[in-house]
Amino acid sequence: MPEPFKNRVTGPENITDLSIIVPVFNEAQALEGLSQEVRRELTRLGLTWEIIFIDDGSSDGSGLILDHLADEDRRVKVIHFRRNFGQTAAMMAGFDHAAGDVIIPLDGDGQNDPGDISNMLDSLNAGFDVVSGWRKDRQDHYIHRNVPSILANKLISFVSGVRLHDFGCSLKAYKRQVVEGIRLYGEMHRFLPVYASWHGARITEVVVNHHARKSGSSKYGLERVIKVLLDLLVVKFLDQWSSKPMYVFGGCGVFSLAVSLCTACWMFWLKFFVGEPFILTPLPLIVVMTFMIAMMCILLGLLAEMITRTFYESQGKTVYAIRSTRNFPEITISAAEDRLHGEQGSAALGRW
Instruction: Tell me the average pLDDT of the chain.
Output: 81
**CA 287 – CA 267 distance, rounded (Å):** 9
Q: How many CA atoms, within 13 angstroms, populate the side-chain half-sphere of residue 168?
A: 22
Which amino acid is present at 7?
N
pLDDT at position 320 is 64
Residue 176 pLDDT > 50: yes
Structural domain spans, the chain: 12-240, 246-326
pLDDT tens digits, residue range 75-101?
Answer: 999 999 999 988 888 999 999 899 999
Instruction: Determine how many CB atoms are found less than 10 A away from the CB of residue 36.
Output: 12
For the chain, first and last CA: distance in Å? 56
Higher pLDDT, 348 or 300: 300
Rounded to an integer, the average pLDDT of 281-285 is: 91
- The residues with which 105 forms a beta bridge, in sequence order, are 21
DSSP state of 5: G
Residue 4 pLDDT > 50: no
Rounded to an integer, the average pLDDT of 6-30 is: 72
Q: What is the CATH number of domain 12-240?
A: 3.90.550.10
pLDDT at position 5 is 46
Angle at 186 between CA 181 and CA 188, to 5 degrees: 65
Rounded to an integer, the average pLDDT of 108-132 is: 91
Rounded to an integer, the average pLDDT of 143-151 is: 73
**Best CA proximity match to 205, nearest among 270, 317, 123, 307:** 123
Angle at 91 between CA 86 and CA 97, to 5 degrees: 130
42-56, 263-277, 306-320, range with the lowest pLDDT: 306-320
Q: How many CA atoms, within 13 angstroms, populate the side-chain half-sphere of residue 232?
A: 19
pLDDT tens digits, residue range 21-68?
Answer: 999 998 888 899 999 999 999 999 999 999 999 999 999 889 999 999
The confidence band for 140, taking pLDDT boundaries of 50, 70 and 90, is low
Residue 279 pLDDT > 60: yes
pTM for the structure as a whole: 0.71
Strand locations in the chain (E): 16-24, 49-55, 76-80, 100-105, 130-134, 172-175, 203-207
Supply the angle between the helices 62-72 and 28-45 in degrees, to the nearest 10. Answer: 30
pLDDT at position 220 is 58
